[in-house]
Amino acid sequence: MLFRNVVNLVRRFRYWLQAGPLFNKNTMQDFEEYLRQGEPNKAEKARVWKTAIGLQQVDGLKPSDYLIATAKQNIEGSITIDEVKLRIDTYYQQQAVKNDKDRTEEADKVSARIAEILSEDSFAFSPAEYLSIHRRLFQGIYSHAGEVRDYNIAKKEWVLNGETVLYASAASLKATLEYDFEQEKKFSYKGLTRQEIVEHIAHFISYLWQIHVFGEGNTRTTALFLIRYLRKLGFKEVNNDLFAEHSRYFRNALVRANYEDLSKGIHKTEKYLIRFLLNLLLKENHPLKNREMHIHYIDTVNDTVKLKNDTVNDTVFDLIKKNNHITAVEISKKLKISLSTSIRRIKALKEQGKIKRIGSDKTGYWKAIE
């Protein structure tokens, strides 16, 4: 047993040497160097790898130093993408003990596969292509790679305060997928402004993602499909750095585009997804902040609302605790905010269960719940 472990350590060390020097945690900075150098071929490969690795953040995954170092060799032209994939596969085969709680092996293999697909020119706008992308990304990682799920799913989302989007029913997945593709094929972009084009793309990709055809890996598959579809539409100079740096925002924007709770005044909104796409396609510079998408975030110009433990932490709650008969008008005057802002703050606190109205609006009072 000892001899076998020593042999495995030697093999692993040999593969580390093949890959070159280790990278630190600031992996993206290593790729930025190639972009600054300005060599077209290296810069293009660096962008591809930045996107491939950045998309792993959708599921909170981080690649290993070995993958980063191997990617650098590919950028330098020392090895092909096929050799990258082979080295990654061999590296994990040589590991004596499998410990992948952080899913690093998945992050490494999927990153390499995304880099490969992004380097290809071929593309077909069809459900089969969509399924094929998932199969290529997750073959050998998920048993259901490339297969339509046959069970219903729910996923708790931070941005929804623990609630889930209602995904398409397993019984109707294939029909829904085919319908969305057929509708998009029929759609004409002729005569649309650039803003209208972006809004329609947001609508299509939002619907496609909401189907959630697969058990896992939907967002990475959808993002990769979107990048390739945009190329087909003629957006060849797409700022894919956004996927590298804001992939989590992209996912949260898709979530908000597909969630509503009318009983709490929460509506579906594609505005966050549109902001992302405007930056991506038209090189606009809208701020992309995940906290602003939280369903309890209050978006006002003169208001400073912070999220702490998924609740609105502001002085309104303190005022209500001190004076349980205080009105929205009095709060707005004390805090020097608009009446509408005061009402929204109160509403948010009620939805979070931090305050409760006892009695009528005119004669009742507030009960603060600690």
Q: Which of 120, 143, 161 is the last residue of a domain?
A: 120
Q: Judge whether residue 29 has pLDDT over 70.
A: no
CA atoms lying within 13 Å on the CB side of residue 249: 22
Q: What is the CATH classification number for the domain harbouring 337?
A: 1.10.10.10
**Spatial distance between the Cα atoms of 31 and 167, rounded to a whole number of angstroms:** 36
Give residue 8's pLDDT: 47
Give residue 88's pLDDT: 96
Per-residue tokens: 350: 């009620």
Tens of pLDDT, residue by residue over 334-350, are: 877 777 777 878 887 88
Contact between residue 252 and residue 159 where contact means Cβ atoms under 8 Å apart: yes
Residue 61's CB is within 10 A of a number of other CB atoms, namely: 19
Q: Judge whether residue 359 has pLDDT over 70.
A: yes
With respect to residue 354, please indicate whether it lies within any of the assigned structural domains. yes
Query: Are both 152 and 283 inside the same structural domain?
Result: yes
Beta pairing class for 365-368 and 311-313: unpaired
**Spatial distance between the Cα atoms of 92 and 105, rounded to a whole number of angstroms:** 7
Query: Are both 212 and 348 inside the same structural domain?
Result: no
With respect to residue 301, please indicate whether it lies within any of the assigned structural domains. no
Closest CA to 269 of 158, 287, 243, 261: 261
* Domain extent at residue 8: 1-120
Query: Are both 110 and 130 inside the same structural domain?
Result: no
Give residue 233's pLDDT: 96
Query: Are both 53 and 181 inside the same structural domain?
Result: no
**Spatial distance between the Cα atoms of 132 and 203, rounded to a whole number of angstroms:** 23
Mean pLDDT of 152-159: 95
Average pLDDT, the chain: 85
With respect to residue 342, please indicate whether it lies within any of the assigned structural domains. yes
Say which amino acid occupies 210: Q
Mean pLDDT of 156-176: 96
Give residue 318's pLDDT: 81
With respect to residue 207, please indicate whether it lies within any of the assigned structural domains. yes
With respect to residue 210, please indicate whether it lies within any of the assigned structural domains. yes
Query: Are both 17 and 136 inside the same structural domain?
Result: no
With respect to residue 103, please indicate whether it lies within any of the assigned structural domains. yes
Give residue 150's pLDDT: 97
Contact between residue 197 and residue 141 where contact means Cβ atoms under 8 Å apart: no
Contact between residue 150 and residue 100 where contact means Cβ atoms under 8 Å apart: no
Question: The pTM is what?
Answer: 0.73
**Spatial distance between the Cα atoms of 336 and 339, rounded to a whole number of angstroms:** 9
Q: Is 264 helix (H, G, I), strand (E, B) or coil?
A: helix
Q: What is the CATH classification number for the domain harbouring 139?
A: 1.10.3290.10
Q: Which of 260, 295, 330 is the last residue of a domain?
A: 295
Query: Are both 61 and 17 inside the same structural domain?
Result: yes
Query: Are both 8 and 71 inside the same structural domain?
Result: yes
Give residue 41's pLDDT: 85
Q: Is 356 helix (H, G, I), strand (E, B) or coil?
A: strand
Query: Are both 116 and 133 inside the same structural domain?
Result: no
Contact between residue 156 and residue 163 where contact means Cβ atoms under 8 Å apart: yes
Mean pLDDT of 178-185: 96
**Spatial distance between the Cα atoms of 307 and 157, rounded to a whole number of angstroms:** 15
Query: Are both 84 and 16 inside the same structural domain?
Result: yes
Q: Judge whether residue 13 has pLDDT over 90.
A: no
With respect to residue 300, please indicate whether it lies within any of the assigned structural domains. no
Residue 22's pLDDT band (boundaries 50, 70, 90)?
very low
Q: How many domains does the chain have?
A: 3
Query: Are both 134 and 106 inside the same structural domain?
Result: no
Torsion of CA 141, 144, 147, 152, to 10 degrees: -130
H runs (alpha helix) in the chain: 2-19, 27-37, 40-54, 65-76, 81-93, 104-118, 127-138, 173-186, 194-211, 218-232, 241-245, 247-256, 271-282, 315-322, 328-335, 339-351
> For the ranges 62-71, 116-125, 234-243, 249-258, which has the lowest average pLDDT?
234-243
Cβ neighbours of residue 204 closer than 8 Å, sequence gap 6 or more? 180, 184, 187
Query: Are both 104 and 224 inside the same structural domain?
Result: no
Whether the CA torsion 355, 358, 364, 368 is positive or negative: it is negative
Cβ neighbours of residue 342 closer than 8 Å, sequence gap 6 or more? 316, 328, 329, 331, 332, 335
Contact between residue 293 and residue 256 where contact means Cβ atoms under 8 Å apart: yes
With respect to residue 323, please indicate whether it lies within any of the assigned structural domains. yes
Tens of pLDDT, residue by residue over 77-118, are: 999 999 999 999 999 998 867 666 779 999 999 999 999 999
Q: Which of 73, 100, 120 is the last residue of a domain?
A: 120
Query: Are both 161 and 280 inside the same structural domain?
Result: yes
**Spatial distance between the Cα atoms of 200 and 194, rounded to a whole number of angstroms:** 10
Residue 206's pLDDT band (boundaries 50, 70, 90)?
very high
